[in-house]
Structure 1
Amino acid sequence: MNSTVHEAEVLGNVEKGLLIGGQFRPATGGRTFPVENPATGTTLCEVADGTSRDALEALDAACAAQASWAATAPRERSEILRRAYDLLVARTEEIAQLITLEMGKSLAESRSEVVYGAEFFRWYSEEAVRIQGDFTVEPGGSGRIMLMRQPVGPSLLITPWNVPLAMPTRKIGPAIAAGCTMILKPAEQTPLTALLLASVLTEAGLPDGVLNVITTSEPEAVAAPLVHDGRLRKVSFTGSTEVGRKLIVSSADKVLRTSMELGGNAPFIVCADADVDAAVDGAMIAKMRNIGEACIAANRFYVHADVAEEFTEKLSARMGKMVVGRGDEDGAEVGPLIDAAQRDRVAELVDDAVRRGARVRTGGTAPPGPGYFYPPTVLTDVSPAARLRTEEIFGPVAAISTFADEQEVLRSANDTESGLVSYVYSRDIGRALRLAEGLETGMVGLNRGFVSNPAAPFGGMKQSGLGREGGRVGIEEFLEIKYVAVEVD
C-alpha cells in the first residue's frame, strides 16, 4: 500500500468518534488526539479523545442495555457473533491494511491476525448456546440444589496496542455470548482497528448500548471513575504487569471481578536431544511473530551446550536474512516497533547486555529514520545480570544462554516473577513432560513455537495474570454462578 489515495480510502472507512449507546459522537469539548504511523512517524488521522464524563455516559448506556441484553435468547447472541465472524473474514484485506497502518506489522501478519481474531467470534458463537446449569438432589434428600449461570453485568475491557483486533475480539466474544454489556477502552496507539470492529458488530446486529467504545489519550482518567462506580461489575485487562497491579488495587474498592493477562518473560528451552532445525523453526515463530512485540514472545533462550553453537548459527542466519521495512511494502517481514520510546528501550536493553559482555551475532544497531525500526538481533554470552534477562524485551531480540542439565535450566527458567508461557524442544518424551510439569507458567509450547488458539485457555501464573481467556473456560470469566436451594416436601 504505497498510495496516499489508498491509505485515505482505508482510513475513510473508519468512524473517528466515541461509540456510546449505539451512536458515534465527538468527545466532550470536541477533544481529539493523533494516531501515528510507526513506519513513518507521521500522523494518520485524529480520533475522539474521551474524558471521564464520556466514560460515565458509556457506563450509563451499558447499564441501560444490560437487562434486555441478558434476557436475549442465546441463539440470537450466537447468530450475531457468527455474522460478525463472517463480516470480519469478508473484510480481511481492509482490516489488515488498517492494522498495518497503525501498528506496523507486515500485511501478512496482519492478515493472520484478522483470521485469528475472527475465530474468537466463531468459537463463542458456538459457546453462547452451551451455558449450562445443574440440578441435583441434596445428600440428605429433603431438598434440591439448583445452579444457574448468569451474566456478571457491565464490563470494562482494556486492550493493548500490539494485537489491536484479536485482543478486543478475545474479550468481546465471550462477553456477548454470556450476555454482558461492555465498555471497550482500546490502546491510544491503535484505536482505529477497535472502532472499525465496533462498526462491524453494529452491522452484525448488536443492539445499541451493548458495546460502547471510548478512545482516549488519558486511560487512567477514563478508567478511574468506572472502576469506582458500583454499577460496573467486571474489569478485563491485557497489558503490563505494572498497570495490572494498579487496576487490581483500584478494583478492590467495589470488589470487581477481574481478569488480568499481564506481562511475560518466556523461556525457550532447547535440550541436547532436540531436533535443532525444528527448534530454530519454532524460535522464529516464538521470537519474531508480531515483531517480538507479544507477551508470549520468547524472551530468554536456554540452549544445551552440546547444540548451542549449531542452534545459534542457524537462528542468526535466519534472523539476519529477514527483510526490515514498512509493513505494507512487498517482501517486508519485520515492520517498525510501535513508537520511538519502545525502539529506544529495546536498543537500551541490547546495549546494556553488550556492556555486560554479550556478543552480537546479528543486528544490534537501529537504522536511521524515518520510522521506529530495529533489526532482528541475536545475542550470545548473555550475563544473568543483563536487564533483558529480567525485563520483557517486546522486540526482535533473542538472548541466548547455555545450560548443562535439566534441573539447572528449570531453576533458571522459573527464576522470574512472570509465568505466562514457556517453550520446550526435546525428542525425549519423559524429559519434555518433566519440564512441562516443572515450569511455572500457565502455558507450554512443547515442540512448537506458537500456543495461541481460540479453543484453548490463554493465561498465566504468578504475576502474569488472573483468569483465562479463550477455550471453554473463557466464557466463565463473564458469568456468575447462582445457587438456589429448593425445598421439597
Structure 2
Amino acid sequence: MTDFKNQLYINGAWRDSASGAVFDVINPFDESVLSQCASAEVADAQDALTAAANAAPVWRGMTPRQRSVILRKAFDLMTARLPEFAELITLENGKAKTDAMGEATYAAEFFRWFSEEAVRADGNLTMAPASGARILVHQKPAGIAYLITPWNYPAAMGTRKIAPALAAGCTVIVKPASETPLSLLALAALLEEAGVPAGVVNILPSQKPAEISEVIMNDPRVRVVSFTGSTGVGRNLLKLAANQVLTPAMELGGNAPLLVLHDADIDVAVEGAMLAKMRNMGEACTAANRLYVHASIATEFTEKLSAAMGKLTVGNGLEAGIDVGPLVNAATRDKVSSFVCDAVEKGAKIEVGGVLPTGPGYFYPPTVLSNVPDNALCLDDEIFGPVAAIQTFTDEQAIIAKANDTEYGLVAYVFTEDLKRGLHISEQLEFGMVGLNRGLVSDPAAPFGGVKQSGLGREGGHEGLMEFMETQYISTVW
C-alpha cells in the first residue's frame, strides 16, 4: 500500500489545508517519510463544523435500521481489506504484522457491534404513580461529536468512537494523532463507500491540535467530546469542555497492576502477562505496568517470563516471523530507555533485554526487570514500551492496597486458581476493568473505561452508544 490518503476530509471531499500546510508522517522502522499529510487550520475546522451541522438533519433523520445497514456495510468492506489496513497500521505505527492484523480485526468489529446497537436505543413508557400522567422516556442523538484519537491504535480507536456516534445519529469531526493520521483517512474513504453521506464524518489531521480543539469545542453546535490519550491532556480538554458544558467521554492514562497469587497456574500467568504487557509492544493504556508476584513462585515466574520475552523477534513489522516492531517515535523509545536506566541505577536487575540498539528505527528490546525498588520511576508512570517490572509480595491485602495506590484506575489483572478469591480481590481493586486469569480485557461488546483519573464514561458495549445520546422525558396524559 503506497497510495495514501493524505488530505483533509471535509463534507465528503478531499482537500488541502486552507494554508497549504503539511507535516511528515514517519515510518518508525527506518525513520523515512511515509507521506506528507495536510495539516488543518482554524478555517478548516470551521468548514468541518458547518459540514457536520448541515449533514446532521439528514443523518439523524434516517431510521436506526438505515444507519445500521450502512455500518454493517462498513464492517463488510473493512473485513475484506484487513491485510491492507494492517499494512497501513504497521507502516505508520510500527507494530508487527500479527499485532496489526489483530488491531484491524478489532477495529472492524466496532462497525458490526454498533450496527447491531443502532437499533437498540431503548426507551420506556410508564405511569406516574401520583398524578397518573404518562412518563415517556426516549433517546435522541446528542449532536455534533468531536473525536480525538491517539497514535497507539490508529484504526481501532477511530472506529471505537466513530461507530457508536454514527449509530446514535450524530455527525462527527475527528482529529487523529499527527503520528498516525493515515489509517483514519483510509477509514473515511471506506465509510464514504459504505454510504455515509457527505458531512457526516470529517477528518482533520493537524499539528495545531490546541487551536483546532478550542474552535470546535467552543462552538455551541458541538455537544460531545470523546478523547483517548494522556491524563494531562484530558484535564485540559475537560476544562475547555466546561465552556459549553459538553458531554465528556475521556479514556485517559493507566498504570495497570498485574497480581500473580501464590496459587496461580504459572504458565497461565506468564501467558497472560505476555499478552497484557506485549500487546502493541507495550504501547497501550491497558498494558501491565507493575507486576506483583507472590514470593513463593517469583523465581519460576520470572524465569519463564524472561524466557518468553527473550524468544521474541525484533524487526520490521511487515516481515513474517517478527514479533516486536519499533516504538512509534524517538521520544517514546528514549522514555522507555530512561525508565530502565533509572530502575537499574536504583537496584533493579535486568533479566533479559535492557540494551538500547544502534541503527535507524525506534527499537527497544523486550525487557524484564526483577527486584524493582519502590522508588523506581517506571512504577509511577506508564512505561509505554516492552518492559516488565517485577516486584514480589507475601501479604495479599498489602499488595491490593499497593495496587490501588495510584491516581489511575483503568485496568488491573489477577491470576489465581481460586475463582472465589479472584472475584473477591477483583471487587477490592479500584479499577474500571479487571482481567481475571486473562491478559486481555478489550472487547467491542464490553464497556471499556476507567475510574479515578483514568477517565469518564465508557466505550464499547451498550454504554458506548449512550455516550452519544441524550435522554428526553415527555409528560403527557390520555
TM exceeds 0.5?
A: yes
Equivalent positions of 1:30-49 (< 5 A) are 30-49=20-39
Task: State the distance in 2 between where 1:318 and 1:86 align.
Answer: 36
1:75 aligns with 2:62: no
SS at structure 1 position matched to 2:173: strand
2:107 is the counterpart of 1:117: yes
Specify the alignment match of 1:319 in structure 2.
309
SS in 2 for 1:353: helix
**Counterpart amino acid of residue 176 in structure 2:** P
The amino acid of 1:102's aligned partner reads: E
Q: Which residue of 2 aligns with 1:128?
A: 118
Q: Which amino acid in 2 is paired with 1:286?
A: A
1:179 counterpart letter in structure 2: G
Query: Counterpart of 1:296 in 2: which secondary structure?
Result: coil
Shift of 1:366: 1.1
User: Does 2:19 match 1:29?
Assistant: yes
For residues 138-186 of structure 1, what are the alpha-carbon distances to aligned partners after superposition, in whole Å with 9 as ceiling and x for unaligned? Answer: 1024311111100000010000000011100000110111000000110
For 1:11 and 1:475, the matched residues in 2 are separated by 35
Per-residue Cα deviation, 1:13-72 (whole angstroms, up to 9, x for no partner) = x32111111101110121111100000011011011101111111011101111221111
Could you tell me which residue of structure 2 aligns to residue 228 of structure 1?
Answer: 218
* Separation in 1, partners of 2:340, 2:278: 16
1:297 aligns with 2:284: no
3-state SS of paired residue (1:253):
coil
CA distance in 2, matches of 1:59, 1:331: 45
TM-score with structure 1 length normalisation?
0.97
Equivalent residue letter for 1:98: L
Q: Does 1:401 align with 2:388?
A: no
Q: Shift of residue 239 of structure 1?
A: 0.3
Partners of 2:259 and 2:359 in 1: CA distance: 35
Deviation, 1:430, is 2.2
Deviation of 1:472 (Å): 1.2
Determine the C-alpha separation between the residues in 2 that align with 1:418 and 1:471. 22
Match of 1:151 in 2: 141
1:57 corresponds to 2:47: yes
Count of paired positions: 478
Post-superposition offset of 1:478:
0.4
Q: Which of these residues, 96, 101, 108, is aligned with residue 106 of structure 1? A: 96
Alignment of 1:206-285 (within 5 A): 206-285=196-275
Counterparts of 2:264 and 2:236 in 1: how far apart (Å)?
Answer: 41
> What is the rounded CA distance, in whole Å, between the counterparts of 2:221 and 2:373 in structure 1?
50
Q: Once the 2 structures are TM-superposed, how far is the Cα of residue 395 of structure 1 from its aligned partner?
A: 0.2
Distance 2:254 2:193 in 1: 36
Q: Secondary structure at the residue paired with 2:118?
A: helix
Deviations 1:278-307 (A, max 9, x none): 000001100001000000000000000000
What value does the CA root-mean-square deviation take over the aligned residues? Answer: 0.8
Structure 1 residue matching 2:344: 3-state secondary structure? helix
The amino acid of 1:78's aligned partner reads S
Task: Give 2:297's match in structure 1, choosing from 296, 307, 311.
Answer: 307
**Are 1:287 and 2:246 counterparts?**
no
* 2:381 aligned with 1:391: yes
The answer as to 2:16 corresponding to 1:11 is no
What residue is the counterpart of 1:187 in the other structure? 177
Structure 1 unaligned regions, length at least 5: 1-9
Alpha-carbon separation, structure 2, partners of 1:133 and 1:430: 36
Cα deviation, residue 350, structure 1: 0.7
SS class of match (2:242)? helix
Where do 5+ consecutive residues of structure 2 fail to align? none
- Per-residue deviation, 1:405: 1.6
Given candidates 315, 318, 330, the residue that maps to 1:328 is: 318
1:344 aligns with 2:334: yes
Distance 2:152 2:473 in 1: 40
Give the partner amino acid of 1:417. Answer: E
- Identity percentage over the alignment? 55
What is the Cα deviation at residue 136 of structure 1?
A: 0.8
Deviation at 1:406, TM superposition (A): 1.1
Partner SS, residue 119 of structure 2: helix
Distance 2:424 2:26 in 1: 46
CA–CA separation in structure 2 for the residues paired with 1:131 and 1:235: 20
Partner Cα separation in structure 2 for residue 285 and residue 103 of structure 1: 19
The letter of the residue matching 1:448 is R
Report Cα offsets for 1:448-467 as digits up to 9, x if no partner. Answer: 10000000000001000000
Distance apart, 1:230 and its partner CA = 1.2
Q: 1:203 aligns with which of 190, 193, 196?
A: 193
Deviation of the 1:487 alpha carbon: 3.1
| Separation in structure 1 between the aligned mates of residue 39 and residue 211 of structure 2, nearest angstrom | 11
Partners of 1:287 and 1:298 within 8 A in 2: yes
Aligned to 1:342, the other structure's residue is in SS state helix
TM-superposition CA deviations, 1:292-325 (whole Å, max 9, x none): 0000000000000000000000000110111010
Residue 419 of structure 1, aligned match among 392, 395, 409: 409
Letter in 2 for 1:355: E
| Conserved? CA contact 2:348–2:371, under 8 Å | yes
* Partner in structure 2 of residue 365 of structure 1: 355
Q: Deviations over 1:435-478 (max 9, x none)?
A: 10000000000001000000000000100000000011110000
TM-score after normalising by structure 2: 0.99
